[in-house]
């Protein structure tokens, strides 16, 4: 049975609502917080479905080169505020460099992601993008979509930080993060991705290795929050650092808890 949070689009992976969770004082509003992979292969039906969401803000967490390689498709009349960041200019995305420089195995994929999540909260471009995203939530102009390339790592971290602000139970936040392993249709896409990697890398990685690279593990998210605790002292102090201070967090809760 498909999770009701997942929007089953044709050409956009991992598109889902990350609201709806029970919290103290009510429930996170549904239909206001969306997350996804890139929309470069969105079909006309996908664009129509996205138009129906009436997005007010779209946060593109990708680097400039990623945006150039897979430009987003938009529906007619698209008028959402687009938040993106050009810091790093044409720098290669870490996951691309990893695939080019390292043999893809389950072990190397895990090591890469643990290291990536340790650093990701403090990447300068993420500090800027995350801060602007939370400012958009404070402004409260309407539904928001956050996305990166696969909609799982950068997007997953930002969704988890949002859940923290809203008081979503840690078990529910983790469940939402792990839903990528279903919503990204990893098993269905495995043969196609394996073949594409074989062409680009010159050798065929194992299905287990590709599965590890395409999916997420709870330990990755734990690594990000451990890094935040170590370097900032607490999640709240980190949020203060990026501009989502006490007043902003209260405003976000007031807007999104119903």
What b-and-e string marks burial along 21-40, b requiring 16 or more CB atoms within 10 Å of the CB?
Answer: bebeeeebbeebbbbbbbbe
* HSE of 237, CA atoms in CB hemisphere, 13 A: 9
Which of 172, 182, 180 minimizes the C-alpha distance to 155? 180
Catalytic member of 42, 99, 148, 173? 148
Each domain of the chain, given as residue ranges in start order, spans: 16-255
- Give the angle subtended at the CA of 51 by the CAs of 45 and 53, to the nearest 5°: 115
CATH number among 3.40.605.10, 3.30.420.40, 3.90.190.10, 2.60.40.10, domain 16-255: 3.90.190.10
Q: Are 108 and 115 in contact (CB under 8 A)?
A: no
User: Residue 257 — φ and ψ, nearest 5°?
Assistant: -100, 125
Could you list the pLDDT tens digit for every one of the 258 residues in the chain? 478 999 999 999 999 999 999 999 999 999 999 999 999 999 999 999 999 999 999 999 999 999 999 999 999 999 999 999 998 766 778 888 898 888 899 999 999 999 999 999 999 999 999 999 999 999 999 999 999 999 999 999 999 999 999 999 999 999 999 999 999 898 889 999 999 888 888 889 999 999 999 999 999 999 999 999 999 999 999 999 999 999 999 999 999 999
What is the model's pLDDT at position 100?
84
pTM, 2 dp: 0.95
| 148 is a catalytic site residue | yes
- Torsion angle defined by CA atoms of residues 158, 162, 165 and 168, in that order, rounded to the nearest 10 degrees: -120
């Amino acid at each position: 049975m498909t999770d009701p949070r997942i929007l089953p689009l044709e050409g956009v992976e991992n598109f889902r609502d990350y609201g709806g969770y029970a919290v103290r004082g009510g429930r996170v509003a549904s239909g206001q917080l969306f997350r996804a992979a890139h929309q470069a292969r969105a079909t006309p039906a996908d664009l129509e479905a996205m138009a129906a969401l009436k997005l007010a803000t779209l946060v593109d967490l990708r680097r400039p080169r990623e945006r150039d390689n897979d430009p987003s498709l938009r529906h007619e009349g698209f008028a959402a505020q687009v938040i993106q960041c050009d810091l790093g200019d044409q720098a290669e995305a870490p996951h691309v460099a990893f695939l080019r420089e390292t043999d893809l195995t389950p072990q190397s994929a895990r090591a890469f992601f643990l290291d990536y999540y340790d650093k990701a909260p403090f990447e300068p471009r993420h500090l800027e993008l995350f801060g602007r995203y939370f400012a958009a939530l404070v402004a409260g102009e309407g539904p928001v979509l956050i996305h990166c390339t696969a909609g799982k790592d950068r997007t997953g971290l930002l969704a988890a930080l949002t859940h923290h602000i809203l008081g979503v139970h840690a078990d529910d936040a983790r469940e939402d993060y792990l839903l990528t392993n279903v919503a990204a249709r990893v098993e269905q896409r495995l043969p196609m991705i394996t073949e594409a990697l074989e062409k680009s890398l010159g050798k065929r990685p194992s299905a287990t290795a590709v599965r590890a690279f395409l999916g997420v593990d709870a330990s990755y998210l734990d690594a990000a929050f451990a890094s935040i605790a170590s370097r900032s002292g607490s999640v709240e102090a980190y949020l203060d650092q990026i501009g989502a201070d006490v007043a902003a967090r209260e405003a976000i809760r007031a807007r999104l808890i119903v």
